[in-house]
Structure 1
Amino acid sequence: MRTEESKTASTILYSILIFLTFIKVEARNYKQVCSSSSCGEINNISYPFRLRGDPSGCGDPDYELSCVNNKTILEIFPGKYYVKNISYEDQVLRLVDVNFANANRSCSLPSGSVENTDGFVQDFRFKGVLDSLGSRFRFVKCSRNISSLQEAANHTTIPCLTRNGSYVYAVYDGEYSYYNPQPSCSVVSLAPVDLLHDINYKFPSYEAVMELLEAGFFVGWSLECRDCSLAGKSCVVKSWDKPLTYICERENKELTRSQGNLIIAGIVVGGLIALLVIIGILVFFVRKYRTRRNASSSTEKN
């Protein structure tokens, strides 16, 4: 009797364990359905983006936004930017540096540099097709006044930051161009802008520069490119149909010397084998021809 009760208890316990395991697996595979969030003028914050404070499982943690004073903010390297628009179809954001968004146009440098000195977005989360497109202002600090130099004709002076023998300029940099600072100058920051113009375009005043900076710029994003970057690979566009899709670019690894020698040896050995096969075939046909000829000669003599 006790044996049967023990078997029954064991069966029940085993069934419970299987049930709990099944529930655990299902919970792990379950993707939470989340409604879009909103903050100020941005009312369509959805996957992959999330607002700080959203339920766990909503959006991707790498694409978390914050809502401060009813404004949506994205932090990149280590600047802060107001999100003005999110296009999920084009996979692009329109951003404005918080230091350039004030109506009073306070005189300031960018809060951070989204791009490196070559004009490429540094943050692995934002490696979309706009990665190397557009123009920028390079903020340059010089140890002397270079305004009168012909080579510095496109340098716009920033009066409120020029003091104590230090001269600060905003230099417009067009698409795919590279700026070489004057010997007495160095680049201190970059700010992307949405304008394609000649590199030597001259802005008449810092107020004119500010108008463009206040308008903001576009930056693309791609989860596929994010994953490629984390794997140490670059990504390429797989399909231009919207929304764009990407794949990791195949690595072209250089052959080692031993691998090269093995390939050469294989080619040489393969060539020798092919030559021997050809010679063998020729010898076979020559012998066959001679055999037939000799047989024919013997028949004629008889």
Structure 2
Amino acid sequence: MMSEGKPPNTILFSILTILIICCWFPAGTRAKNSSSCVSSSCGQISISYPFRLATDPPNCGHPDPIFELQCLQNRPILQPKSGKYVVQSISYANFSVRVSDLGIVEKNYTSCPAYSSDSLWDTTNYMSLYLQSNKDIILVSCLNPVNRPLYVEDPACGNRTDFLNSSRVYNYLVVGWVPDSELAENSCREDRRTLVSSDALSGNNASYTMIHDSMAYGMGLSWFRALCGECDRSNGFCSLEDNKIRCHHYCYEDTPFEERSFRCKLDYYGALIFVVGVGIASLLGLRFILGVIFVIGFLLYKRRKQRSSQDKNGAIEHGLDPESSAVELEKR
């Protein structure tokens, strides 16, 4: 005896509905850590994927060299292509890391940044400057004194190499972006720049010690791109939204069909899929209604035929002519 199952059209409609529900709306890309390694530590900093210490197995972190940290004097050191930065904290919740220039020593106000943060721009595809939470600190040297609120005299980190023929050079720390025209107007030249977290420096009347403390606190970098591998492989656009990694696929008219991702095709042809789905649902609904009507009619017909058969059998048992019995029944 064959087992009863769903009609083929119903199964196809169910599969189509599930695909539309699962793939119609954009979904987040989960942060994946395929490593089973135990977290390391250096000083007070816990280190796990995508970061790893140089002494950890290579498979315990992201393959890009930027995520390999050195532990020097109990301090984790981030080493881009140029420069060294002390890792002050790592937030695995919002995919950020706070680092400070190795040349800056906390509360040592004669220490100076050794590197320019500009070098971080070309460091890697996986680490980016966290611009929303950072402020520029520019070290400038000037031939003439500058009397402006944002120019804070720098007694320790001056650079005379640009003005070797001058007997006096004025050195400043400037908070924020300064146009080249303003520097030229004041006979100033930019020496180097660094970034500081806006959480450590607020207001426009910062003193030298406040700026130095903010440089020791460090700047924020975002590393969420390290967890976008699956999205990148599917030609998606990876972004960080509300501390969640999202993968979006965009479709354009000139994008070849074979180069579009499965979800991209669903998004692009979503309207057609919706119309087809509604059409299939309508046909199935109509078929169901007609089937119900047919079943009810068939049952009524069988019931009437059964009653007629019972009446004839009763008439025969009483010795009556079935036709005359039927007439009698109609008269009654």
Structure 1 length normalisation: TM-score?
A: 0.57
Task: Give the equivalent residue in structure 1 for 2:156.
Answer: 160
* Count of matched residue positions in the alignment of Structure 1 and Structure 2: 207
Counterparts of 1:139 and 1:59, CA distance in 2: 35
Matched residue SS, 2:59:
coil
Matched residue SS, 1:209:
helix
Counterparts of 1:252 and 1:130, CA distance in 2: 34
Counterparts of 1:102 and 1:75, CA distance in 2: 20
Question: Structure 2: 5+ residue runs without aligned partners?
Answer: 1-33, 161-166, 255-332
Q: What does 1:34-45 align with in structure 2 at a 5 Å threshold?
A: 34-43=37-46, 45=47
Give a deviation string over 1:104-138, Cα, whole Å, max 9, x none.
Answer: 23332x2222347xxx8443345558245421201
**Contact persistence 2:49–2:62 (CA under 8 A):** yes
Task: Give the equivalent residue in structure 2 for 1:214.
Answer: 216
Give a deviation string over 1:225-270, Cα, whole Å, max 9, x none.
Answer: 8869x99x99552x625343456888999xxxxxxxxxxxxxxxxx
**Contact persistence 1:84–1:96 (CA under 8 A):** yes
Counterparts of 2:247 and 2:118, CA distance in 1: 21
**Contact persistence 2:200–2:217 (CA under 8 A):** no
Report the CA distance shift for 1:218/1:129 in structure 2 as closer, same or farther (over 3 A): closer
The answer to whether residue 105 in structure 2 is matched with residue 106 in structure 1 is: no
> 1:61: how far off?
3.2
- Give, as a single letter, the amino acid of the residue that structure 1 aligns with 2:149: A
Counterparts of 1:157 and 1:83, CA distance in 2: 28
> 1:75: how far off?
1.7
Task: Give every structure 1 segment of 4 or more consecutive aligned residues whose post-TM-superposition deviation is greater than 6 Å.
Answer: 196-200, 225-228, 248-253
Question: Structure 1: 5+ residue runs without aligned partners?
Answer: 1-30, 254-302
**Contact persistence 1:78–1:111 (CA under 8 A):** no
Q: Higher RCO, 1 or 2 (CA under 8 Å, sep at least 6)?
A: 2
> 1:202: how far off?
3.4
> 1:200: how far off?
8.8
- Give, as a single letter, the amino acid of the residue that structure 2 aligns with 1:158: D
Task: Give the equivalent residue in structure 2 for 1:59.
Answer: 61
Report the CA distance shift for 1:54/1:87 in structure 2 as closer, same or farther (over 3 A): same
> 1:172: how far off?
0.3
RMSD: 3.7
Structure 2 length normalisation: TM-score?
A: 0.52
Percent identity between the two aligned chains: 26
Task: Give the equivalent residue in structure 1 for 2:245.
Answer: 244
- Give, as a single letter, the amino acid of the residue that structure 2 aligns with 1:190: R
